Structure 1
């Protein structure tokens, strides 16, 4: 079912920032979102900034670099392009763009200044990484930024995990507080405006598990307080319950003897010779599963209480490599991602 709130939130969005606790599948969700947008006839860029080559692995293509590579051409006419931002290359590009260093940039690299700036100097790495995403999101076909048509209709950023997402997104505000004038201050202000604009949404990926949900709730508060626009909560890897409501209640309330007799009878009907340990083991697993379903219901209620659109993605048994990514993309489209 399509959520009106979700449709409204996606109407003006161009930059989709996808974050989540490590292990929740945020790269897969970012890829599915990008694919869903491309399937609507858009030219979409998916970018990563952590150097893990998660995008290339998800789409089963060679490792990505600083040049955008077309990953998919959709029958709708849409295109999906991929980019893996490297801080060192981004710094050299930045120095050439603003300071025309040319060969001097290569000299800095030889003496280790580039490595120092991108690996040791606090915050510089994040400034460079998000600056490259800013450039791609605002690039146009004209001679100057803002002239002509946008190169990409939508940009999906596979961002750092929620633990450092706000620091990553907010780094240019900190730069602007230090650099009072000049091109560094100007670009920092421009990037901050882009990230806080209505056209940028931060989506958080979670699982129906206690720690990811708690971290998601904390991240929502932190991201909102920092002034960034919140998009959707994505509940990933949802499993179909093996017990319906009636069976769950029966497992939790019926007497052991009655349940054991019923399970034993159903096993016999299925052509299986039941033993005592087998029957008791099945009942123990059923009770554990029922308790798990109760917990998931509580976590769903906690997610729903955050008053944001919620998207649900199933666990794909065959994996994302065997067509599962398109299954997830279709699911997002059916739920109103547009």
Structure 2
């Protein structure tokens, strides 16, 4: 499902009517976080999470952290619940053997960059990863999960959309109140263009140190201006993908926003391909959507990969220095 539009507008009637349910949701999150003893796997755990439902850039952040740790000589394994997949785990993802229906699209994508484990039980997944040689664990989307002792908690926020109307689900996008979540965070990473970053600064004063980054297309040498494109995306914020394509000079004859993690069925792909053909256009999608494509379709759809580029990361490097001293 796509996020309701009123989540990212000033609070109106819908948000206020639903706000009692939001209080119940926030209370359930608080109770879940308060119970149990967190398991310490014996290696540093870096949690990449968010306070809102939907896409904020967590997956590119995990990839960027994997590469940053690799530069320090640290072998990080990624631990995820495999959203959208059927595997219970612990399962080490092998892109040659597993599909998105089993592991979820994010896990399959991440496995190309680092050893990645799907585990509904995060403690069991951590044990398996450490036994397999993990020098650090990167916990993907576990900020509201009390299973593991976290060494460094990073909250990722979309600099453009911020925390929306600051109501909790279903009245707004929040999984927990902003102040409550930021008190637990060690760093706040805001992702977006400079203009959005400046606006974000103007209206919030986060408790944790703030780092900044932007999502930038991977340079492949492709000239996006030569061909009309029919774009589709089933991610948390598909409009950002479409805007990135336009920024590269691509002419979009149509942009189709699918639900987050929506299965790419034969019927759906056939319809998209027929519509693209009618416009004389080439199909294009995101890297995360591409891993859900059936093998027969992979040569028919162009992929635009993006990477997270840090523009202000001194606080992150200082935190990593403390966790992994030279």
TM-score category, normalised to shorter length: 0.3 to 0.5
TM normalised by structure 1 equals 0.40
Structure with max Cα Rg: 1
TM normalised by structure 2 equals 0.42
Q: Judging by fraction of residues, say which structure has more helix.
A: 1
